[in-house]
Chain A
Amino acid sequence: DTEVTQTPKHLVMGMTNKKSLKCEQHMGHRAMYWYKQKAKKPPELMFVYSYEKLSINESVPSRFSPECPNSSLLNLHLHALQPEDSALYLCASSQDPSGNTDTQYFGPGTRLTVL
């Protein structure tokens, strides 16, 4: 089973709101990822967690705050977002962080709209 789940599917928030995106996998994968995808563009990597520790932050603004409470769960906390942050946010996981060419399995994404 190669399933990554994400909630919510859709999210509309104002620029002063605080919200969180959630991602879960039960494949025993030890690397988890957040990507941002704008319309008609490929996904762009935001963060990577390896063994529950943040290993890559691709210079993402601090209004995005990732959290990895355990090996199955990944959150993305959102605060004071801008309209240009509206996008599809994809979570992915892969088996072995040290095997950095592992296949990444993606969730269905959260479609975020910032008003």
Chain B
Amino acid sequence: AQKVTQAQTEISVVEKEDVTLDCVYETRDTTYYLFWYKQPPSGELVFLIRRNSFDEQNEISGRYSWNFQKSTSSFNFTITASQVVDSAVYFCALNQNNYGQNFVFGPGTRLSVLP
């Protein structure tokens, strides 16, 4: 079975603060892929990152960084110096190698960045 937990339902921060969104996953497979998507109020899910289970290197892309730790089954997402445009719902998702094309999405975290 696969499961993704995003314990933070809603987070509010003031602009320029750093914020970390947590993602914890469950899977029995040794090969799997993790994703983060952003959904702004317009509705479109915007792909942010894809990471496979064999690559535990952290990744940084501009103000975004991701921390993947297999030991704790976590794939956390940090936004540095947050901006109002970062306000959105963020989904973490999991897919196992032999599970077909069905992503398992977490429940999402709603981030509000206040000016």
Contact = CB atoms under 8 A, between A and B. Distances in A.
Interface in B72-115: 91, 95-103, 105-108
A8 to B, nearest CB: 13
A33 to B, nearest CB: 7
A103 B102 contact: no
Contact of A108 (B33, B43, B47, B102): B43
Given A97-B101, A101-B97, A109 B91 contact: no
Contact of A103 (B35, B42, B99, B108): B35
Contact of A31 (B44, B50, B97, B101): B101
Contacts, number: 63
A15 to B, nearest CB: 24
B45 interface: yes
B108 A101 contact: no
A43 interface: yes
Nearest to B46: A106
A109 B96 CA distance: 26
A45 interface: yes
A109 B103 contact: no
Interface residues of B, number: 26
Contacts of A33: 101
B105 A103 contact: no
A42 B47 contact: no
Contacts of B99: 100
Given A45-B103, A56-B102, A109 B44 contact: yes
A86 interface: no
Interface in A1-44: 2, 31, 33, 40-43
Contacts of A31: 101
Contacts of B52: 101
9 contacts: A33-B101, A41-B107, A42-B107, A43-B91, A50-B101, A103-B35, A106-B37, A106-B46, A109-B44
What 10 A-B pairs are tightest by C-beta distance, nearest first? A42-B105, A106-B45, A108-B44, A109-B43, A101-B33, A100-B101, A101-B95, A48-B101, A103-B50, A45-B102
